[in-house]
C-alpha cells in the first residue's frame, strides 16, 4: 500500500519522473508474452499516451525515445514531440506515469456501451472533461508561484523554426506586409515572443523594417536572441526587450505586430490577454493588416483513440488523468475523426479592442456532431495498418482492435488554424476535413470517459457544450471544459 500511495501521489506532480529514469513496476505480475505484446502495441501506435513521434520531422532522435521492457518505463525526449508538448520532456504527465507502471492482463478490454434492449430514447451516454492550459506542459520559470505560463526548451524552439508548414508562410506574410509601405523603409515592427532565434524579427529586418522591437519574457531565450541578432548583423535594427509584453513600455507606436503565440488549442498560450493589452503598441490596432496573424481558430471533432481501447481497468484507469489531454502529432494515425470538424474557438486580433483590465472572457457554445458511417469505414484501414506495424501483432488481432477502435468515441479532438493575412492560412490539419498532415502543432484530445463509448455504426448524435475561460491576466492559465452526451439512433 505504501508503494501504491507513492505512485498515486507522483502522478500529479511535475517533477517526479524527471528524477527517475526508470519507473518501478508496482502492479500485477505479467507473463513475458503479454509484456511483448504491450510493448509492440505501444511501438505500433507510437504513443505512450502522451509521447508523440513525427517520423517526418528531421529533428526526431530515435535514441531519445525509450521503452524499457523490464518495468515498462516509457519516456521521450522533447525533440520528438513537436509543439508545446513537454509532457514527455519532463514526463510530467499522469498518462506516462500510469502507463509506466500499469499493464493490461488481457486484450482487448471491454468498452462502454448501452445495454441491449434499452429503448432508443434512453440510449444516451454522458461524457466530459475539464483542464487547465498548462496541464501536462512545461511552465516558464517564474519567481511568482501563482504565475501559470507555458514555457519551451531549445528543442521545441527548433521544431517551430524548422516547421516547413509554418515558417515560410510567416516569412511570406511579413515580406508582403512590408511591401505595403512602398520603398520608404520606415516601418516599425514588434515581434512578440521572439524566442531564442529572434526568427521573425530578423526576417522583418532583412526585408527592410526600419526598427524591430523583439519582446521575450523568457530571460534565457532573450539572451540567446541577442546573440542571434548580433550574428545576423541586425543589432542596429533589432532591439531585444526583456519581459512580458504586458509589463513593458516602448518609446514609440509601431506599424504592425508579429505575434506567433498560438497554442495547439489556439488560446492556450495566453494569446487573448496578450493581444488585448498589445493593442496599445499599434498606431492602428483595428486594421487587420497590422497583425500577423490577424485571426486564429480552434477546430474540433469527435475522435477514436487506439490506446483508449487497448488499455483499461483495473490495471489502467484513464479517469486518473483528471481531464489532462493527450497530445498527438497531427500525422498520428492512432487517432481518427468520426465526423466533420466544426469551429470551436475564433479570435480576431483586430476586433479585441483596447483594454487594460484583468477581466476573464468566457466563451460558451453548443455544438452537435453526427457520427459519419463512411468515416468509420475509412478509419479502419489506417488503424489496422498502424497496429500491423508492431511485431507480434497478427492480422486477426489487428483487425479486431481496428474494428473496435473505429466504432468507438474517446473525446473531442482539437487543433489550431491561423490566418496570417487575407491570402495566407496555416492549417495544422487538412481543412476542412481535418485529415492528417505534418505540423509541429499538435492535436489535443481530452479523454472524456473512463472507457471508450462503443458500438457506433453511424448516425449517432454527439452534443457538446464548451466553456473556454480566457483570463485578462497573461500570467493566469486559460481553463477549458467540454461536457456532452452521445445519443444512439
CATH number at residue 242: 3.40.50.150
Q: Are residues 118 and 161 in the same domain?
A: no
Q: Are residues 316 and 462 in the same domain?
A: yes
Q: Are residues 132 and 108 in the same domain?
A: yes
In a domain, 402, yes or no: yes
pLDDT beyond 70 at 87: no
pLDDT given for residue 179 in this prediction = 93
Strongest mean pLDDT among 46-55, 236-245, 324-333:
236-245
Q: Are residues 199 and 117 in the same domain?
A: no
Answer with the one of 262, 285, 305 that is the final residue of a domain.
Answer: 262
Task: Tell me the per-residue pLDDT of 170-206, one tens digit each, with 9 for 90 and over.
Answer: 999 999 999 987 766 799 999 999 999 999 999 999 9
pLDDT given for residue 181 in this prediction = 79
In a domain, 271, yes or no: no
Instruction: Give me the mean pLDDT over the 2-12 stretch.
Output: 41
Q: How many residues does the chain have?
A: 489
Number of domains in the chain: 2
266: helix, coil or strand?
coil
272: helix, coil or strand?
helix
pLDDT given for residue 91 in this prediction = 28
pLDDT beyond 60 at 108: no
pLDDT given for residue 50 in this prediction = 35
Comparing C-alpha atoms, which of 391, 390, 385 is closest to residue 436?
A: 385
Strongest mean pLDDT among 87-96, 194-203, 306-315:
194-203
pLDDT band per the 50, 70, 90 thresholds, residue 297: very high
User: 10 Å Cβ neighbour count for 31?
Assistant: 9
Angle between helical axes of 94-101 and 2-10 (0-180°, round to 10): 150
pLDDT beyond 60 at 474: yes
Q: Are residues 361 and 321 in the same domain?
A: yes
Instruction: Give me the mean pLDDT over the 3-31 stretch.
Output: 35
* % of the chain at pLDDT higher than 70: 71
The CA distance from 483 to 6, in Å, is 31
pLDDT beyond 50 at 261: yes
pLDDT given for residue 135 in this prediction = 84
Q: Are residues 304 and 329 in the same domain?
A: yes
Q: Are residues 133 and 158 in the same domain?
A: no
User: Can you name the residues that pair with 242 across neighbouring β-strands?
Assistant: 216
Q: What is the residue-averaged pLDDT of the chain?
A: 78
DSSP 8-state symbol, 463: E
The answer to whether residues 62 and 136 touch, using CB atoms and an 8 Å cutoff, is no
pLDDT given for residue 392 in this prediction = 77
The CA distance from 474 to 20, in Å, is 33
Q: Are residues 10 and 119 in the same domain?
A: yes
The CA distance from 448 to 325, in Å, is 9
In a domain, 171, yes or no: yes
pLDDT given for residue 153 in this prediction = 77
In a domain, 289, yes or no: no
Answer with the one of 238, 262, 286 that is the final residue of a domain.
Answer: 262
pLDDT given for residue 150 in this prediction = 67
Q: Are residues 205 and 131 in the same domain?
A: no
Task: Tell me the per-residue pLDDT of 349-397, one tens digit each, with 9 for 90 and over.
Answer: 999 986 556 789 999 999 999 999 999 999 999 999 988 887 778 899 9
Q: Are residues 422 and 469 in the same domain?
A: yes
The CA distance from 107 to 101, in Å, is 17
Question: What are the angstrom distances between the C-alpha of 115 and each of 24, 97, 118, 123, 455?
Answer: 39, 33, 6, 8, 11
Question: What are the angstrom distances between the C-alpha of 86 and each of 79, 102, 404?
Answer: 10, 22, 30
pLDDT band per the 50, 70, 90 thresholds, residue 114: low
The CA distance from 101 to 355, in Å, is 48
pLDDT beyond 50 at 81: no
Report the 3 state secondary structure along 185-212: CCCEEEEECCCCCCHHHHHHHHCCCCEE
Q: In terms of residue numbers, what domain contains 256?
A: 154-262
Comparing C-alpha atoms, which of 477, 416, 440 is closest to residue 133?
A: 477
pLDDT given for residue 335 in this prediction = 97
Task: Tell me the per-residue pLDDT of 427-443, one tens digit each, with 9 for 90 and over.
Answer: 999 999 999 999 999 99
In a domain, 196, yes or no: yes
pLDDT given for residue 140 in this prediction = 60
Instruction: Give me the mean pLDDT over the 6-11 stretch.
Output: 41
The answer to whether residues 257 and 291 touch, using CB atoms and an 8 Å cutoff, is yes
Which of 143 and 174 is assigned the larger pLDDT?
174
Q: Which residues does 230 contact at the CB level (< 8 Å), separation at least 6?
A: none
In a domain, 287, yes or no: no
Answer with the one of 203, 236, 262 that is the final residue of a domain.
Answer: 262
Q: Which residues does 279 contact at the CB level (< 8 Å), separation at least 6?
A: 285, 352, 353, 354, 355
Which of 69 and 150 is assigned the larger pLDDT?
150
The CA distance from 455 to 397, in Å, is 18
The CA distance from 174 to 293, in Å, is 10
Instruction: Give me the mean pLDDT over the 138-165 stretch.
Output: 71
pLDDT band per the 50, 70, 90 thresholds, residue 69: very low
Supply the pTM of this predicted model.
0.79
C-alpha cell at 72: 515498462
Q: Are residues 312 and 459 in the same domain?
A: yes
pLDDT beyond 80 at 225: yes
Give the containing element (helix H, strand E) for 34. helix 32-45
Which of 167 and 138 is assigned the larger pLDDT?
167
Q: Are residues 373 and 435 in the same domain?
A: yes
Task: Tell me the per-residue pLDDT of 25-54, one tens digit each, with 9 for 90 and over.
Answer: 323 333 343 344 444 444 433 333 333 333
411: helix, coil or strand?
strand
In a domain, 377, yes or no: yes
Could you tell me if residue 369 is left (phi over 0), alpha (psi between -120 and 50 degrees) or otherwise beta? beta
pLDDT band per the 50, 70, 90 thresholds, residue 419: very high
In a domain, 347, yes or no: yes
pLDDT given for residue 357 in this prediction = 60
* % of the chain at pLDDT higher than 90: 61
User: 10 Å Cβ neighbour count for 238?
Assistant: 25
Amino acid at each position: 500500500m505504501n508503494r501504491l500511495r507513492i505512485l498515486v501521489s507522483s502522478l500529479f506532480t511535475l517533477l517526479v519522473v524527471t528524477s527517475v529514469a526508470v519507473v518501478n513496476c508496482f502492479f500485477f505480475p505479467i507473463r513475458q508474452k503479454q509484456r511483448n505484446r504491450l510493448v509492440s502495441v505501444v511501438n505500433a501506435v507510437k504513443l505512450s499516451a502522451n509521447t508523440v513521434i513525427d517520423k517526418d520531422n528531421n529533428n526526431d532522435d530515435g535514441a531519445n525515445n525509450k521503452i524499457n521492457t523490464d518495468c515498462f518505463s516509457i519516456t521521450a525526449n522533447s525533440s520528438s514531440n513537436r509543439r508545446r508538448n513537454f509532457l514527455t520532456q519532463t514526463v510530467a504527465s499522469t498518462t506516462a506515469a500510469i502507463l509506466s507502471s500499469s499493464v493490461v492482463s488481457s486484450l482487448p478490454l471491454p468498452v462502454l456501451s448501452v445495454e441491449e434492449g434499452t429503448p432508443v430514447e434512453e440510449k444516451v451516454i454522458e461524457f466530459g472533461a475539464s483542464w487547465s492550459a498548462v496541464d501536462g506542459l512545461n511552465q516558464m520559470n517564474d519567481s511568482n508561484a501563482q504565475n501559470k505560463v507555458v514555457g519551451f526548451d531549445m528543442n521545441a524552439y527548433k521544431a517551430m523554426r524548422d516547421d516547413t508548414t509554418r515558417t515560410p508562410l510567416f516569412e511570406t506574410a511579413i515580406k508582403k506586409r512590408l511591401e505595403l509601405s512602398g520603398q520608404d523603409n520606415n516601418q516599425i515592427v514588434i515581434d512578440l515572443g521572439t524566442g531564442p532565434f529572434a526568427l521573425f524579427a530578423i526576417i522583418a529586418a532583412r526585408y527592410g523594417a526600419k526598427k524591430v522591437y523583439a519582446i521575450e519574457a523568457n530571460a534565457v531565450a532573450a539572451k540567446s536572441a541577442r546573440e542571434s541578432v548580433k550574428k545576423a548583423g541586425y543589432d542596429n535594427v533589432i532591439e531585444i526587450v526583456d519581459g512580458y509584453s504586458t509589463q513593458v513600455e516602448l518609446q514609440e507606436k509601431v506599424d504592425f505586430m508579429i505575434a506567433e503565440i498560438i497554442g495547439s488549442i489556439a488560446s492556450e498560450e495566453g494569446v487573448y490577454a496578450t493581444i488585448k493589452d498589445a493593442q496599445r503598441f499599434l498606431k492602428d490596432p483595428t486594421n487587420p493588416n497590422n497583425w500577423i496573424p490577424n485571426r486564429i481558430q480552434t477546430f474540433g471533432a469527435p475522435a477514436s483513440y487506439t490506446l483508449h481501447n487497448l488499455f483499461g481497468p483495473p490495471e489502467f484507469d484513464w479517469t486518473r488523468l483528471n481531464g489532462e489531454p493527450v497530445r498527438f502529432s497531427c500525422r498520428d494515425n492512432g487517432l481518427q475523426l468520426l465526423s466533420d470538424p466544426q469551429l470551436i474557438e475564433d479570435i480576431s486580433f483586430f476586433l479585441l479592442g483596447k483594454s487594460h483590465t484583468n477581466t476573464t472572457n468566457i466563451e460558451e457554445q453548443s455544438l452537435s456532431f453526427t457520427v459519419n458511417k463512411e468515416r468509420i469505414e475509412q478509419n479502419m484501414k489506417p488503424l489496422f495498418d498502424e497496429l500491423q506495424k508492431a511485431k507480434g501483432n497478427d492480422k486477426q488481432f489487428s483487425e479486431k482492435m481496428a474494428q473496435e477502435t473505429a466504432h468507438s468515441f474517446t473525446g473531442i479532438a482539437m487543433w489550431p488554424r491561423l490566418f496570417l493575412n487575407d491570402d495566407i492560412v496555416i492549417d495544422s490539419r487538412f481543412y476542412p476535413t481535418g485529415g492528417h498532415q505534418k505540423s509541429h502543432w499538435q492535436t489535443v484530445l481530452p479523454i472524456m470517459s473512463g472507457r471508450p463509448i462503443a458500438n457506433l455504426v453511424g448516425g449517432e448524435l454527439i452534443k457538446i457544450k464548451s466553456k473556454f475561460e480566457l483570463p485578462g491576466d497573461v500570467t493566469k492559465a486559460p481553463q477549458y471544459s467540454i461536457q456532452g452526451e452521445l445519443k444512439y439512433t
